[in-house]
Structure 1
Amino acid sequence: MRSVQAAGGTAIATPNRRYAFWAVLLGALGFVADFLAKRWALANLDPASPVQVIPGQLYLHLIRNPGAAFSMGEGATVLLTCLAIAAMIFLLVWMVPRVRHPGWAAATGLLLAGVSGNLFDRLFREPGPFHGHVIDFLQVPWFAVFNVADIWITFAAVTVIWLTMITQVNLAGERVDRPEKADSKPSGDDTGTPAS
């Protein structure tokens, strides 16, 4: 955040918008990467014939997912679409304008990329608006089939945990220290008289 001088020499803080810009740019680039990856998967993969990339570790398996992770909520596609729209509004209207830290800019941009990538599928892919199926094609052992947008969301979650739990920095770039635990009471009675 930078300051400008008002009449009389009073410093007035003005928001620094560069982090918001980088968040939106990262979100746009991540969206394009997800879109192109899904386009490639649709053009080159057969749902009935998964492709082995790393034996026993990574396969390319094209599926159309109407639900959320692990195919949960398959009958709630409209609800999931509405939740994704609400998440996008929250990110663009509340989070992006408040970002004043590079780590939070990265986390916000990754969230924008992930949410918008899967929201695009729900709005514009078959069988129709608000009922569209998400294109998933990456498969690893003991996990759901996922896509590039899901990777962005996962990276965002890890970044948020790191920022809040390790560095303890908020959106404004201010360090927020955890409250210290209150010291245990000294031995003695409640009147503060030391124990004999």
Structure 2
Amino acid sequence: MAEAERIIGTPDPAEADEAAAAAEQPRGRRRIAVLFSVAAVAYLIDLVTKMLVVAKLEHHEPIEVIGDLLRFEAVRNAGAAFGIGEAFTVIFTAIATVVIVVIVRLARKLYSLPWAIALGLLLGGALGNLTDRIFRAPGVFKGAVVDFIAPANFAVFNLADTAIVCGGVLIVILSFKGLDPDGTVHKD
């Protein structure tokens, strides 16, 4: 009977499962490639802008971009958002490292393009700020992050922070829509 099913094209359930798994592998690899590509682009843009800010803007007058609403101003931030926790730079470094490790481990189970983009933004931003914390003064794991985007009546931030916030917002949206990183959709 198995020979007749093969001839007329009736799929064997075991073979169908194997074919589905084989089809999922390249799709998963593409999502991982997207994650790391987005992370690399976010990281490089952040790194280049910070290098420009340190070279051209630090120790100079701020540049007004949109009148009093937005200016570029070089600020070193040893703390977290809004300069909170400047004494805890080592802890922020450890948190960023944990986030990076979790994202890299989660990448193996990633089959969703939107999640790949969101996690890529998060990874690139975390790497950007971690690079500052490791390599900038006052020392290894105590470095101050270079911030330069200064909207009126708001904290000064950088492009790594922007990538982290955009990735986080996208993750919240995906979670509310019920889309999981493995590509499954659940309705609660």
Same fold (TM over 0.5): yes
The within-5 A match list for 1:14-53 is 14=22, 15=25, 16-47=28-59, 49-53=61-65
In the alignment, the residues of structure 2 paired with residue 118 and residue 78 of structure 1 have an alpha-carbon distance, to the nearest angstrom, of 12
In the alignment, the residues of structure 2 paired with residue 40 and residue 134 of structure 1 have an alpha-carbon distance, to the nearest angstrom, of 14
Q: Which amino acid aligns with 2:93?
A: T
The within-5 A match list for 1:83-102 is 83-93=95-105, 95-102=106-113
- RMSD of aligned residue pairs (Cα, Å): 1.7
Q: Which amino acid aligns with 1:116?
A: L
Structure 2 residue matching 1:17: 3-state secondary structure: helix
Q: Which amino acid aligns with 1:108?
A: L
Q: Is the 1:47–1:63 contact (alpha carbons within 8 Å) kept by the matching residues of 2?
A: no
Superposed displacement of residue 118, structure 1? 0.1
Q: Is the 1:20–1:98 contact (alpha carbons within 8 Å) kept by the matching residues of 2?
A: no
Which one of 155, 178, 181 corresponds to residue 168 of structure 1? 178
Superimposed CA distance per residue, residues 120-141 of structure 1 (whole angstroms, 9 cap, x where no aligned partner): 0000111111011100000112
With 40-49 and 69-78 compared, the bigger mean Cα shift is at 40-49
Larger radius of gyration: 1
Superposed displacement of residue 23, structure 1? 0.2
Q: Which runs of 5+ in 2 are unaligned?
A: 1-10
Partner of 1:153: 164
In the alignment, the residues of structure 1 paired with residue 59 and residue 184 of structure 2 have an alpha-carbon distance, to the nearest angstrom, of 48
Higher helix share: 2
Superposed displacement of residue 9, structure 1? 3.1
Which one of 82, 88, 91 corresponds to residue 79 of structure 1? 91
Q: Which amino acid aligns with 1:153?
A: I
Partner of 1:11: 17
Q: Is the 1:47–1:61 contact (alpha carbons within 8 Å) kept by the matching residues of 2?
A: no
Superposed displacement of residue 46, structure 1? 3.5
In the alignment, the residues of structure 2 paired with residue 64 and residue 58 of structure 1 have an alpha-carbon distance, to the nearest angstrom, of 18
In the alignment, the residues of structure 2 paired with residue 46 and residue 157 of structure 1 have an alpha-carbon distance, to the nearest angstrom, of 29
In the alignment, the residues of structure 2 paired with residue 176 and residue 57 of structure 1 have an alpha-carbon distance, to the nearest angstrom, of 42
Partner of 1:139: 150
Superimposed CA distance per residue, residues 88-146 of structure 1 (whole angstroms, 9 cap, x where no aligned partner): 111111x2112111100100100011100000000011111101110000011221100
With 115-124 and 9-18 compared, the bigger mean Cα shift is at 9-18
The within-5 A match list for 1:114-125 is 114-125=125-136
Instruction: Note if 1:128 corresponds to 2:144.
Output: no
Partner of 1:108: 119
Partner of 1:61: 73
Q: Equivalent pairs: percent with the same residue?
A: 33
Q: Which amino acid aligns with 1:177?
A: K
Aligned residues: 171
